[in-house]
Amino acid sequence: MRERHASQGARRAREFEAFVAGAAGRLLHAATLLTAEPPHDNPHARRLLTLALAHTYASWNRLRGEDPYDTARQYLAVRFARGAWHHYGTLSRFRPKQPGGALAVLSPQERLILVLRIYEGVAEEQTAALLGLPVERVRSICDRASATLLHPPRKPAPAVAKVAPS
Amino acid sequence: MSRTTRREAAVRELLEGPVPGVPPELYADVVRRGNRMLRRRTTLRRLLWLLLLAAAVAFTVWASVARPWVAPPSETTPPLTGW
């Protein structure tokens, strides 16, 4: 029993190390985009990533064929959404004090949806289910966020009514 | 290429930007935290099983002492005397 336990632990450590080596870079980039920190100074993103990976490590034996990357990403997104909610009262009002990252002009919710939809390529339905929002709302937030990002943010928001549904 | 696709591509390009380096101590930190989580879960599970066991034992002892399935002796009927 103990021997089986030990060998299971060793196998988990091996598999998990390979997973982290492959996935940590991309997940850290996503986390840094979420927290809107500059790429070289991202303590919050690192903390988010550490928590997400630790959670994945703890549930490694119970994944049963699920994609660990998916698990880690989901945990990261949910944790970020919850953290933004707790720290700043509402998900949409907070803006970082020192805009460093590429997405600093957006609200946390816009960042979250933009990163999930466009950077990670998660389907609209999955994003909506993960965040507990209607699909139409996810689509409109994503459209609005891309418009804000591409057009100069100081000008009055350009009309984005004629966007074809993706 | 539709307008939406073009815009998505532009945003994606913006997001790809400079990639942050992964700190070398990350893996050790993650494993330490993960193991702590596992240990906590194991402890909690054991504690809950222990609680369940204690409750079962307590119930058995109480039931064997109090015997709630035995009908209590009637107290309302007056004793039959003098007929």
Residue B28 tokens read as 């050790």
**Predicted complex: ipTM over 0.90:** no
Residue A158 lies in a domain: no
- In this complex, which of B12, B20, B33 lies closest to A29 when CB atoms are compared? B20
Residue B58 lies in a domain: yes
The enclosing domain of A54 has a CATH number of 1.20.140.160
Structural domains in chain B (count): 1
Give the gap in angstroms from C-alpha A162 to the nearest C-alpha of chain B: 10
Quote the domain boundaries for residue B53. Answer: 24-64
Residue A160 lies in a domain: no
Confidence grade of residue A162 (pLDDT, cut at 50, 70, 90): low
Residue B33 lies in a domain: yes
Residue A119 lies in a domain: yes
C-alpha distances (whole Å) from A66 to each of A88, B44, B71 are 33, 25, 57
End-to-end alpha-carbon separation of chain B, Å?
Answer: 110
Q: Is B26 on the interface with A (CB under 8 A)?
A: yes
The residue type of B13 is E
Q: What confidence tens digit (pLDDT) does each residue in B3-31 have?
A: 778 888 888 888 887 888 888 899 999 99
Quote the domain boundaries for residue A102. Answer: 2-150
Residue B39 lies in a domain: yes
Residue A101 lies in a domain: yes
Structural domains in chain A (count): 1
Residue B44 lies in a domain: yes
**Positive or negative: CA dihedral A22, A23, A24, A25:** positive
Chain A interface, Cβ < 8 Å to B: 13, 16-17, 20, 24-25, 28-29, 32-33, 39-40, 42, 45-46, 49-51, 53-58, 102-103, 114-115, 118-119, 146, 149-150, 163-166
C-alpha distances (whole Å) from A126 to each of A74, A122, A129, A133 are 10, 7, 5, 10
Contact (CB, 8 A) for A130 and B24: no
CA of B7: which chain A residue's CA is closest? A146
SS3 of residue A83 by DSSP: helix
- For the question of whether the overall pTM of this predicted structure is more than 0.90, the answer is no
Residue B41 lies in a domain: yes
Residue B1 lies in a domain: no
Residue B34 tokens read as 């993960």
Set of chain B residues whose Cβ sits within 8 Å of the Cβ of A57: 30-31, 33-35, 37
